[in-house]
Amino acid sequence: MHERHNYGTECARRISGHSARQQPASPGTRRETSQRRYTVVRRKRVISMAQSVEGNTVVSGESGKEEVETTSAYGEWCLSVAPMMDWTDRVCRAFHRTLAPGARLYTEMMHAQAVIHGDRERLLGFDPMEHPVALQLGGSEPAALAQAARIGADWGYDEINLNCGCPSDRVQAGRFGACLMREPTLVAECVAAMRAVVSIPVTVKCRLGVDEQEEYGTLLGFIDTVAAGGCDTFVVHARKAWLKGLSPKENREVPPLRYGHVYRLKQERPALRILINGGITAVDAARAHLAQVDGVMLGRAAYHDPHVLHRLDAVLAGTAEQSREALLRAFLPWVNAQLAQGLALRHVTRHILGLFHGQPGGRAFRQILSEGTSRPGAGIELIEHALRATQDLSRAA
């Protein structure tokens, strides 16, 4: 079992205004006090990323391995960005890292068998600036999950997270995701198998329950059983899922949010680290949650209105809020380096469309990027152009 703490006070201290971060950071200027040092096992990757991310700190480790210093100015579990299929790919995560230097990032869910048999560079490759970054796995076979977790740990991930919340038909047919809420003993076995082969945290992301599971006691039973398998950190999407009759999208909207269940879980199991997820769209709401639980995880809001992610990070870190333009400019050197290595512009622009969400000129920003991104020869100038047009409209407003 991991060493257990009562984490609630750390985030509460952060939201009351005490901060470790002295200055805003961008990927190129990460110079804060190091609270943790991440070993990156693959030397080749570190070197290529060091070239592509200007100024990121890369130093030699004790055993000849490369190490990358990175930090969270607040507790490293306080704020995270949810795993989202087709959305939180490596480019999206790099963008989110620029906006929120202290947030924990999650990959899209990957099935254990894909990790074992698939193209690992494509599936697992990530940039050192993403740390802390968690690999989310799907599956329900302990041995396969253990093998995949080991591969993820060897690739340098900071956490392995098991998906017990996805309700899609395909996932149910494979007996993983949300339907595992009915099989806590199996989940505990999966956790135990993974924990036996990795030293990084193994965590679980779950729902309140599925189908007729309405009672708080059912959630508690699930958590207790899985905790007995060695999991001390749970991300709880604060609504249940209907396994029949609702699409995955509806299952993120229709079942009511019950934050009270998650708060109660933290009160009754203070030794567990409990992160809350679901419907958190504003800084004040996130701060209110942080007074009750150990961390907040933002999904759709972080994607569609990414500046809210930045504002929350700045509040937690006690740093000055940066403008959307400054954040985008801080991201551009990274984008440039990726384009030079052959990445198509559209793989970048799709993730930044929401940056000016709700702002004068925000629509023009989206439109210019969406329309221009697939034109032959489209490059970084398109982003500059969208930015200028947005600023002009903003000044005129």
Segments in the chain forming alpha helices (H): 8-15, 43-52, 90-99, 112-117, 120-124, 142-154, 169-173, 184-195, 216-228, 259-268, 283-290, 300-304, 306-317, 324-340, 346-352, 362-372, 380-396
- Residue closest to 26 by CA, chosen among 106, 101, 131, 127: 101
Sign of torsion over alpha carbons 348, 123, 72, 165: positive
Q: Which is nearer to ligand FMN, 236 or 378 (CB)?
A: 236
Instruction: From the candidates 78, 164, 166, 179, give the one annotated as an active-site residue.
Output: 166
133 or 378: CB nearest ligand FMN? 133
Residue 253 beta carbon to ligand FMN: minimum distance, rounded to whole angstroms:
9
Per the CB < 8 A criterion, the answer to whether 208 and 259 are in contact is no
Q: Is 166 a catalytic residue?
A: yes
Between 225 and 281, name the residue whose CB sits nearer to ligand FMN. Answer: 281
Judged by CB, which is closer to ligand FMN: 164, or 378? 164
- Residue 369 CB-density burial (10 A; 0-12 exposed, 13-18 middle, 19+ buried): buried
Strand partners, 110: 137
Question: For residues 297 and 368, which CB has a smaller minimum distance to ligand FMN in the complex?
Answer: 297
Q: Which is nearer to ligand FMN, 169 or 371 (CB)?
A: 169
Residues in the chain, how many? 397
Least distance (Å) between residue 108 CB and ligand FMN: 5
* C-alpha 124 chain-centroid distance: 14
| Closest separation in Å from C-beta 141 to ligand FMN | 18
Q: What region does 319 belong to: left with phi over 0, alpha with psi -120 to 50, or beta?
A: beta
Binding site for ligand FMN (CB under 6 A): 82-87, 108-109, 136, 163, 165-166, 205, 237, 252, 277-280, 298-301
The residue with its CB nearest to ligand FMN is 299
Minimum Å gap between C-beta 248 and ligand FMN is: 7
CA dist 176 and 152 (Å) reads 19
Amino acid at 24: P
Cα torsion 329, 330, 336, 339: sign: negative
Rounded to the nearest whole angstrom, what is the least distance from the CB of residue 277 to ligand FMN in the complex?
5
Min. distance of Cβ 239 from ligand FMN in angstroms? 8
Rg over alpha carbons for the chain, rounded to the nearest Å, is: 20
Q: Which residues are marked as active site?
A: 166
